[in-house]
């Protein structure tokens, strides 16, 4: 790496200069040499490289034998690195604001730059923000946010990262092994693993926790007919979706836009399962009349007349297939569409949720029909994902315009009443009747006109016996064409030799 970085640095590549400075500063593949690192950082900073500015800030913050410690210059270069887009520069700038080193102390600005660094995946920034939210430093104290941030830090540990990389390596080649690793991480609360495990079970790529009848050792011989095979396949798919639904729910609770969108699809199409406690309301047993009982017994009897619903006393769970629920789907889609897009990967999910909301508003599915709201959601879909597929949105907007024009048309009775009261319609109908009448008269006259007889066709008389025909014979004049005498004979004229 050092060899190729030097080749790029010889051509004044800013990124290569900054990375070489890091290698000499941290001793990566080369002895630590802060003076050489400083030279590389200065050259990279002249090209406004964020790594170069961050390296210069680090040198000025620590100080070297050749460069004295200068906190003002360190703050300046950290600021330049942060505005150039370096997450390390944002983290260092936030730390300067947090401690008031080289600048005026500001907890609010520290929270701002820590958040910006976190948006770029900076793990130490997540931990610092968690501590600030936990203690209410620079922001309102919020234990939920602190716990979520600390959870992100734990999920980026070596054990989780190694399992996640191994699961991705298995991928489509060995989905069962990938599903097993994703399940281990999902049980620990890893949101990405929950979403990936749900996808494997939802798509039918993995049957890890349930085996189809065809793969069971107790399954019958493969002589079953096609209908039974399809039924078993559908049953396996239903089981996979039921299991995937649970992991989608766990992932959606942690703010996953893709899982929330998929749960909306489950409610829209009636996939998955629904569970509830079984309710069996039995009429209370009637005892003796209240007049025959004492005061204490009367109170107990009156209490028994109003028993608690069995949902609070039963432990029987009712499991059944989920029915189509447009209102639940609408709520899921709306929650996804209202999420803040924090990365490019979220654009497609938020855009699709907006499109589904527009479709449901257009046709009144789960909500009152509202064409203008549908139009807003369609435009929102285009704005959220400008680089996505816009052909479906354009076709939907065209269909929405035609749909709105159709709805503006009056009813059949009102339309007939308005047309009958319009004088222009009467004139148009008279013109049509006149044109049809004239066309019929013309056809009738054409059929009555006598047709000219075709001219009679002259056929040559049959040749007399003993007279040779002209085909395939030589004519008297010795040529191929008949002479005048032969032609007059053929026409029936008398020829005197």
CATH number at residue 19: 1.25.40.10
**Mean pLDDT of the 253-272 span:** 95
294 or 375, which is more confident: 375
Reported confidence tier of residue 221, pLDDT bands at 50, 70, 90 = very low
Residue 213: what pLDDT?
Answer: 43
Q: What mean pLDDT do residues 75-81 have?
A: 95
Instruction: Identify whether residues 270 and 331 lie together within a single domain.
Output: no
CA distances from 137 to 86, 97, 115, 178 (A): 24, 12, 14, 41
Q: Are residues 268 and 165 in the same domain?
A: yes
Of 462 and 369, more confident: 369
Tens of pLDDT, residue by residue over 24-67, are: 999 998 999 999 999 999 999 999 999 999 999 999 999 988 88
Determine, yes or no, domain membership for 249: yes
Give the pLDDT score at 456: 67
Residue 471: the pLDDT is 47
Whether residue 92 sits in one domain with residue 9 = yes
Give pLDDT, residue 197. Answer: 95
Question: Looking at residue 314, what is its pLDDT?
Answer: 61
Q: 453 or 116, which is more confident?
A: 116
Tens digits of residue pLDDT in 397-454? 999 999 999 988 888 888 888 888 888 988 999 999 999 999 999 999 888 877 777 7
Report residue 317's pLDDT band, with 50, 70 and 90 as the boundaries. confident
Tell me: do 162 and 110 sit in the same domain. Answer: no
Average pLDDT for residues 335-345, to the nearest whole number?
A: 89
Q: Counting Cβ atoms within 10 Å, is residue 198 exposed (0-12), middle (13-18) or buried (19+)? A: buried
Q: Find the range with the poorest average confidence among 15-19, 40-44, 116-120, 220-224.
A: 220-224
List of long-range contacts for 83-88, beta carbons under 8 Å, 24+ apart: 84/48, 84/49, 84/50, 84/53, 85/50, 86/50, 86/51, 86/53, 86/54, 87/116, 87/117, 87/120, 87/121, 87/122, 87/125, 88/54, 88/117, 88/122
> Could you read off the pLDDT of 269-314 as tens digits, one per residue?
999 998 876 665 455 555 555 454 454 454 554 545 555 555 556 6
Residue 95 inside a domain? The answer is yes
Most confident of 277-286, 466-475, 487-496: 277-286
The verdict on 196 and 249 lying in the same domain is: yes
- Report CA 362 to chain centroid distance, whole Å: 19
Domain membership of residue 105 (yes or no) is yes
Kindly state whether residue 347 falls inside one of the protein's structural domains: yes
Q: What percent of the chain has pLDDT over 70?
A: 79
Q: Do residues 106 and 185 share a domain? A: no
**Where is pLDDT greater, at 21 or 463?**
21
Higher pLDDT, 417 or 482: 417
In a domain, 346, yes or no: yes
Structural domain for 102, as ranges: 2-116+127-132
The pLDDT value given to residue 298: 47
Residue 214: predicted pLDDT:
45
| Domain shared by 270 and 366, yes or no | no
Write down the mean pLDDT value for the chain.
Answer: 84
Structural domain includes residue 297? no
User: How far is residue 241's CA from residue 235's CA, in Å, rounded to a whole number?
Assistant: 10
**Which of 19-33, 227-241, 468-482 is the least confident region?**
468-482
Number of domains in the chain: 3
| Same-domain status, 349 and 270 | no
Helix/strand/coil (H/E/C) assignment for every residue in the chain = CHHHHHHHHHCCCHHHHHHHHHHHHHCCCCCCCHHHHHHHHHHHHHCCCHHHHHHHHHHHHHCCCCCCCCHHHHHHHHHHHHHCCCHHHHHHHHHHHHHCCCCCCCHHHHHHHHHHHHHCCCHHHHHHHHHHHHHCCCCCCCHHHHHHHHHHHHHCCHHHHHHHHHHHHHCCCCHHHHHHHHHHHHHCCCHHHHHHHHHHHHCCCCCCCCCCCCCCCCCCCCCCCHHHHHHHHHHHHHHHHHHHHHHHHHHHHCCCHHHHHHHHHHHHHCCCEEEEECCCCCCCCCCCCHHHCCHHHHHHHHHHCCCCCHHHCCCCEEEEECCCCHHHHHHHHHHHHCCCCCCHHHHHHHHHHHHHHHHHHHHCCCCCCCHHHHHHHHHHHHHHCCCCCCHHHHHHHHHHHHHHHHHHCCCHHHHHHHHHHCHHHHHHHHHHHHHHHHHHHHHHHHHHCCCCCCCCCCCCCCCCCCCCCCCCCCCCCCCCCCCHHHHHHHCCCCCCC
Is residue 425 situated within a structural domain? no
Asked whether residue 166 falls in the same domain as residue 270, the answer is yes
The pLDDT confidence band at residue 128, using thresholds 50, 70 and 90, is very high
Q: Provide the pLDDT for residue 207.
A: 87
pLDDT for 492: 52
More confidently predicted of 307 and 355: 355
Residue 275: what are its φ and ψ, rounded to 5°?
-125, 150
Structure token digits, residue 450: 């006598």
Do 169 and 273 belong together in one domain? yes
Q: Which of 82, 98, 132 corresponds to the end of one domain? A: 132
Find, among 261, 236, 263, the residue nearest to 249 by Cα: 263
pLDDT greater than 60 at residue 190: yes
- Residue ending a domain, among 410, 428, 446, is 410
Residue 145 lies in a domain: no
Show which of 410, 440, 464 is a domain's final residue: 410
């Amino acid at each position: 790496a050092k060899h190729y970085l030097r080749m790029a640095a010889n051509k004044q590549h800013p990124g290569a200069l900054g990375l070489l400075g890091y290698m000499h500063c941290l001793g990566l593949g080369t002895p630590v040499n802060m003076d050489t690192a400083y030279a590389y950082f200065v050259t990279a900073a002249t090209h406004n490289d964020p790594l170069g500015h961050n390296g210069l800030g680090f040198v000025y913050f620590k100080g070297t034998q050749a460069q004295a410690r200068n906190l003002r210059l360190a703050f300046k270069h950290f600021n330049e690195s942060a505005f150039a887009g370096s997450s390390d520069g944002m983290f260092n700038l936030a730390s300067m604001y947090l401690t008031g080193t080289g600048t005026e102390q500001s907890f609010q600005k520290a929270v701002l730059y820590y958040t910006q660094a976190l948006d770029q995946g900076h793990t130490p920034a997540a931990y610092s923000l968690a501590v600030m939210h936990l203690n209410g430093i620079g922001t309102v104290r919020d234990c939920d946010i602190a716990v979520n941030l600390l959870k992100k830090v734990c999920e980026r540990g070596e054990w989780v990262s190694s399992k996640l990389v191994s699961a991705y390596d298995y991928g489509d080649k060995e989905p069962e092994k990938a599903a097993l690793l994703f399940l281990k991480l999902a049980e620990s609360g890893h949101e990405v693993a929950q979403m990936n495990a749900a996808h494997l079970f939802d798509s039918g790529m993995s049957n890890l926790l349930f085996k189809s009848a065809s793969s069971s050792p107790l399954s019958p011989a493969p002589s079953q007919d096609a209908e039974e095979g399809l039924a078993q396949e559908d049953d396996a798919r239903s089981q996979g979706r039921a299991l995937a639904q649970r992991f989608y729910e766990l992932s959606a609770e942690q703010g996953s836009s893709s899982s929330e969108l998929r749960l909306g699809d489950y409610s829209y199409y009636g996939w998955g399962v629904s569970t509830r406690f079984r309710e069996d309301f039995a009429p209370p047993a009637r005892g003796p009349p209240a007049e025959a009982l004492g005061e204490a017994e009367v109170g107990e009897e009156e209490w028994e007349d109003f028993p608690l619903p069995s949902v609070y006393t039963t432990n029987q769970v009712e499991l059944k297939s989920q029915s189509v629920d447009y209102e639940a789907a609408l709520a899921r889609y709306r929650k996804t569409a209202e999420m803040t897009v924090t990365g490019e990967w979220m654009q497609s999910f938020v855009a699709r949720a907006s499109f589904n909301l527009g479709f449901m508003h257009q046709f009144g599915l789960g909500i009152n029909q509202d064409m203008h709201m549908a139009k807003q959601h369609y435009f929102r879909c285009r704005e959220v994902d400008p680089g996505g597929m816009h052909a479906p949105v354009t076709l939907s907007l065209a269909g929405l315009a035609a749909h709105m024009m159709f709805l503006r048309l009056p009813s059949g009775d009102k339309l007939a009443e308005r047309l009958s009261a319009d004088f222009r319609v009467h004139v148009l109908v008279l013109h049509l009747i006149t044109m049809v009448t004239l066309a019929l008269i013309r056809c009738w006259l054409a059929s009555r006109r006598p047709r000219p007889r075709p001219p009679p066709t002259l056929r040559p008389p049959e040749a007399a016996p003993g007279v040779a025909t002209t085909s395939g014979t030589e004519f008297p004049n010795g040529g191929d064409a008949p002479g005048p005498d032969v032609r007059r004979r053929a026409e029936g004229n008398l020829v005197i030799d």
